[in-house]
């Protein structure tokens, strides 16, 4: 069980970065109406999906490549996953 704790902590770190990324998207898209935008369910759905996807992708990567179970990988996954998922040229 000792191996699961670092994965969950790093997964949480990746999720927090995804959460902040989602908030920055809402703030960037609705500069003048940020408060109003954050009162909608769709905005929070985007933010929590960002959290879940970043955490889930990190946990998937860490389970496939055990050497990737580090905080640095969590940071990279947290920042990189939206770019990779949204890039339609792959």
For 23-76, how does the pLDDT look when each residue is reduced to its tens digit (9 = 90+)?
A: 999 999 999 999 999 999 999 999 999 999 999 999 999 999 889 999 999 999
Question: 67 in a domain, yes or no?
Answer: yes
**Is residue 1 domain-resident?**
no
Tell me the per-residue pLDDT of 7-16, one tens digit each, with 9 for 90 and over. 899 999 999 9
Note whether residue 23 is domain-resident: yes
What are the phi and psi torsion angles at 39 (to 5°)? -90, 0
- For residue 77, what are the domain limits? 11-85
Q: In total, how many domains does the chain have?
A: 1
Residue 2 burial (CB count, 10 A)? 5
Length of the chain: 90
Residue 35 lies in a domain: yes
Is pTM beyond 0.75? Reply is yes
**CB-based contacts of 69: which residues, under 8 Å, 6+ apart?**
3, 6, 7, 10, 62
Is residue 90 assigned to a domain? Answer: no
């Amino acid at each position: 069980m000792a191996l699961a704790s670092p994965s969950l902590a790093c997964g949480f770190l990746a999720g927090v970065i995804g959460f902040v990324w989602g908030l920055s998207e809402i703030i960037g898209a609705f500069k003048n109406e940020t408060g109003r935008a954050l009162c909608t369910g769709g905005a929070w759905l985007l933010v929590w999906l960002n959290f879940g996807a970043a955490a889930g992708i990190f946990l998937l990567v860490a389970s496939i490549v055990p050497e990737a179970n580090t905080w640095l990988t969590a940071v990279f996954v947290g920042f990189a996953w939206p770019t990779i998922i949204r890039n339609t040229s792959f």
